[in-house]
């Protein structure tokens, strides 16, 4: 019997190297290897942008909002990435994943470690003799250690590790979204401010025309039709102002809540008022498809795929027997004089094999495999959606940017046309309808120009969001603010987990730092 123990130990060592289930391999769709997007050639006639080096491109992508050269926007993005509730929740999920990884790692050590002890005061009453009172003592230790024959615990660590990296990527994705939303709302606020100014300027101009027609009508030199047409145009322009003011306040509220502030105007927006942020076309160059893999949402999908791959190995390990080493030791004694002290011990293996559960366990493997394939398809879909989002944003940027110079010329021509029509009307060369048409055209062209300028800013933001840029600066900040850290530390023994810095970004298959 004793000669079998070395053989059993050797079998355990050899089997301990076995890892059931597939090793994760990064999917590489064929189309991605050669796909690029070039916004500089999206619209024929648009000048080609010069492509910066990889290091410069990554730097620009990391803090892309600085390309607008707007200090107010820079400060708002920094505040949003620090204070936004969604960011804080994503940070707490990282802490949860760290704890889950610790739980998975504990499976490599003895799973049952139980120490027990007892002290009992015992009394006996005898009808034909004296009562006796004595004390019994007992102490024991039990240990059970399931050997990781088939890699079940190691696959569990692999799955928990991938889930941890997915939580980090999801945190990055929230930072990208928050930066983009902050910049988008900021650009919207500036465009509405500019539209309000244009509306007020045109209303003042149209009010002056109304006063002139009323004066001429009262003097008998104009018909009432001109007066009513002038009043209609003036009141129509006035009617746009309350709607714009309401939209402005609602957009300010949205930005305030994004910053974790109560709804209301933001004092810092007084600086740079009515100035839509502008980024030049040269900042956007040919973009290699590999940048799509760096997007946080794509990285998160890839890590989740890796975690599910490990689940297949965990479920396969349940098909095979598990060997657990069990040991116990106990000491018992009493206070009675002459009573012996007893030492009990036990040591040996326990084999468990769910032979009659084979059908359920086999189908559980199939369930995990089917889920892996679902995650695989979702990952490929995330790549396709990322490519489409980037291509659409790039085309939108080039299309809007190509219209800026044209519309600037149109506004200039409309303003000159109104000046000429006004002069000719005063000299009696044209009727008042020409003046009204010129005023409508000027207002319309100014509105179109502001819309396109806003569209350029929004499409630049969309391009950088599609590239997944903006999460890198947030890696340098703490996950928790001091107050939250103090609260959680007082509630549970977190140790160094609350202060551990975020790691550098990795992809599945790379060596984690």
pLDDT at 367: 94
Residues of the chain with pLDDT under 50: 1-15, 40, 42-53, 55, 281-286, 509, 511-513
Q: Which domains does the chain have, with CATH numbers?
A: 53-109+151-318+373-402+457-498 (1.20.1600.10)
pLDDT at 280: 65
Q: 417-429: per-residue pLDDT in tens?
A: 988 988 888 888 8
pLDDT at 195: 93
Q: 172-221: per-residue pLDDT in tens?
A: 999 999 999 999 999 999 999 999 999 999 999 889 888 888 887 887 77
Cβ-based neighbours of 414, under 8 Å, separated by 6 or more: 438, 441, 442, 444, 445, 446
Write out 369-394 in H/E/C secondary structure.
Answer: HHHHHHHHHHHHHHHHHHHHHHHHHH
Tell me the two tokens of residue 120: 């009992």
Rounded to whole angstroms, the Cα distance separating 450 from 54 reads 34
Least Cα distance to 325 among 355, 354, 346 occurs for 346
Average predicted confidence (pLDDT) for the chain:
83
Residue 339 gets which letter from DSSP? P
Rounded to whole angstroms, the Cα distance separating 356 from 224 reads 98
Least Cα distance to 400 among 42, 36, 38, 61 occurs for 42
Q: Estimate to the nearest angstrom the gap between the alpha carbon of 169 and the chain centroid.
A: 7
Per the document, the length of the chain is 513
Rounded to whole angstroms, the Cα distance separating 367 from 356 reads 19
Q: What is the pTM of this model?
A: 0.83
Contact assessment for residue 442 and residue 411, using Cβ atoms and an 8 Å cutoff: yes
Rounded to whole angstroms, the Cα distance separating 393 from 467 reads 10
The enclosing H or E element of 95 equals helix 85-105
pLDDT at 113: 72
With b for 16 or more beta-carbon neighbours within 10 A and e for fewer, the 138-170 pattern comes to eebebbebbbbbbbbbbbbbbbbbbbbbbbbbb
Rounded to whole angstroms, the Cα distance separating 283 from 133 reads 91
Rounded to whole angstroms, the Cα distance separating 512 from 160 reads 13
Three-state SS for 275? Answer: coil
């Amino acid at each position: 019997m004793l000669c079998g123990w070395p053989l059993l130990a050797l079998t355990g060592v050899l089997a301990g190297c076995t890892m059931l289930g597939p090793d994760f391999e990064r999917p590489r769709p064929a189309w991605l290897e050669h796909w690029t997007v070039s916004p500089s050639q999206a619209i024929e006639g648009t000048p080609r942008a010069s492509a910066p080096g990889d290091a410069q491109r990554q730097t620009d992508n990391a803090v892309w909002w600085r390309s607008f050269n707007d200090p107010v926007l820079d400060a708002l993005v920094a505040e949003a990435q620090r204070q936004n509730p969604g960011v804080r929740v994503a940070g707490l999920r990282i802490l949860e994943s760290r704890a889950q990884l610790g739980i998975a790692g504990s499976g490599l050590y003895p799973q049952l470690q139980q120490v027990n002890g007892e002290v009992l005061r015992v009394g006996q009453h005898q009808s034909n003799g004296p009562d006796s009172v004595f004390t019994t003592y007992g102490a024991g230790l039990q240990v059970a250690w399931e050997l990781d024959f088939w890699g079940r615990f190691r696959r569990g660590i692999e799955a928990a590790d991938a889930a941890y990296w997915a939580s980090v990527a999801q945190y990055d994705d929230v930072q990208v979204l928050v930066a983009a939303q902050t910049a988008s709302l900021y650009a919207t606020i500036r465009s509405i401010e500019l539209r309000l100014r244009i509306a007020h300027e045109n209303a003042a101009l149209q009010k002056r025309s109304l006063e002139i027609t009323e004066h001429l009508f009262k003097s008998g030199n104009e018909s009432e039709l001109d007066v009513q047409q002038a009043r209609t145009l003036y009141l129509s322009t006035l009617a746009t102002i309350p709607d714009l003011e309401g939209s402005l306040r609602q957009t300010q509220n949205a930005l305030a809540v994004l910053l974790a502030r109560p709804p209301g105007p933001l004092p810092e927006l007084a600086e740079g008022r009515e100035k839509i942020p502008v980024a030049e076309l040269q900042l956007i160059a040919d973009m290699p498809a590999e940048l799509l893999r760096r997007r946080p949402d794509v990285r998160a999908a890839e890590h989740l795929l890796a975690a599910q791959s490990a689940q297949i190995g965990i479920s396969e390990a349940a098909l095979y027997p598990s060997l657990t080493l069990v040991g116990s030791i106990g000491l018992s004694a009493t206070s009675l004089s002459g009573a012996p002290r007893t030492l009990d011990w036990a040591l040996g293996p326990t084999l468990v094999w769910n032979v009659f559960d084979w059908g359920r366990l086999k189908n559980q493997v199939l369930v995990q495999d089917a889920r892996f394939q679902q995650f695989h398809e979702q990952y490929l879909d995330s790549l396709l959606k990322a490519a489409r989002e980037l291509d659409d944003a790039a085309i939108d940027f080039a299309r809007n940017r190509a219209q800026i110079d044209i519309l600037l010329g149109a506004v200039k021509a409309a303003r000159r046309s109104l000046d000429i029509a006004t002069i000719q009307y005063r000299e009696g060369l044209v009727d008042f309808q020409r003046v009204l048409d010129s005023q409508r055209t000027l207002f319309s062209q100014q509105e179109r120009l502001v819309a396109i300028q806003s569209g350029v800013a929004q499409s630049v933001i969309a391009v950088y969001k599609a590239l997944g840029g903006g999460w890198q600066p947030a890696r340098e900040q703490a996950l928790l603010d001091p107050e939250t850290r103090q609260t959680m530390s007082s509630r549970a023994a977190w140790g160094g987990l609350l202060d551990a810095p975020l790691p550098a970004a990795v992809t599945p298959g790379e060596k984690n730092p």
